Amino acid sequence: MDGTMGVTEALEQRLSILGLSKDLIRRFLDDTPLQLTPGVERLFASLRSSNVEVYLVSGGIFELVDRVAKKLRVPEDHVFANRLIYSDDGVVVDFDRQQPTSRSDGKKEVVATIKSQLSGDESKMVGVLVVGDGVTDAAACPPADAFLGFGGVITRPSVQRATPFFFHSFDEMHTFLQHCGLIAHSS
């Protein structure tokens, strides 16, 4: 996330250390309460009510990212994350290396694809805004039209330097997006 290691290498290392299986992931999802960063649910609800399409593009594991997406009401076809490959007995043996999110430039590739698909719908005004806390998020602009840095969980100086728009909370970001006219003001 800070750019010192490639995404593919980081995934390889994490998977070799964790020794994951379908059962272990299922137990984690069942036993661990989902904790979201304060303000994110309000932000996503406001974006939805303002007819802004939201996508989640993550270098994380799909099963975990999809859990967050469901809570935030992001459709599964708007979720891009790393898919695991399992053996017949349910042990993780690898990740799908064809997924763009498994590569350092993958978020940039996903954003370009999303932007291209959205541009084909002439009934919509198209602009792509990336929000993130890592260098691969910042690197997705361009093709994104703008990048908002986020430091609500961890502040990375390299990300902070990558944008004039850096926020330490989703509430700050919400206010900014209201002032920009992207989110409608609440009545």
Interval 32-70: pLDDT, tens: 999 999 999 999 999 999 988 899 999 888 999 999 999
Rounded to the nearest 5 degrees, what angle is found at the Cα of 78, between the Cα atoms of 105 and 70? Answer: 120
Residue 169 lies in a domain: yes
Residue 151 lies in a domain: yes
Candidates 17, 102, 108, 18; CA nearest to 59 is: 102
List Cβ neighbours of 100 (8 Å cut-off, separation of 6 or more).
80, 106, 107, 109, 110, 113
List the CATH number of the domain containing 28.
3.40.50.1000
Categorize the per-residue pLDDT at 8 as very low, low, confident or very high, splitting at 50, 70 and 90: confident
Residue 111 lies in a domain: yes
Residue 22 lies in a domain: yes
- DSSP string over 110-161: HHHHHHHHHHT-TTS----EEEESSHHHHTTTTTSSEEEEE-SS---HHHHH
Report phi then psi at 80, rounded to 5: -120, 115
Could you tell me the residue range of the domain that residue 115 belongs to?
Answer: 7-179
Residue 186 lies in a domain: no
Report phi then psi at 95, rounded to 5: -125, 160
Helix H or strand E encompassing 170: helix 170-179
| Confidence (pLDDT) at 187 | 41
Residue 75 lies in a domain: yes
Q: Supply the DSSP symbol for 65.
A: H
Partners of 85 in the β-ladder = 94
Residue 184 lies in a domain: no
Give the count of domains, the chain.
Answer: 1
Residue 183 CA to residue 171 CA, distance in Å, equals 12
pLDDT at 73 over 90: yes
Residue 2 lies in a domain: no
pLDDT at 3 over 70: no
Q: Which two tokens stand for residue 69?
A: 């997406």
Q: Supply the DSSP symbol for 84.
A: E
| Confidence (pLDDT) at 184 | 81
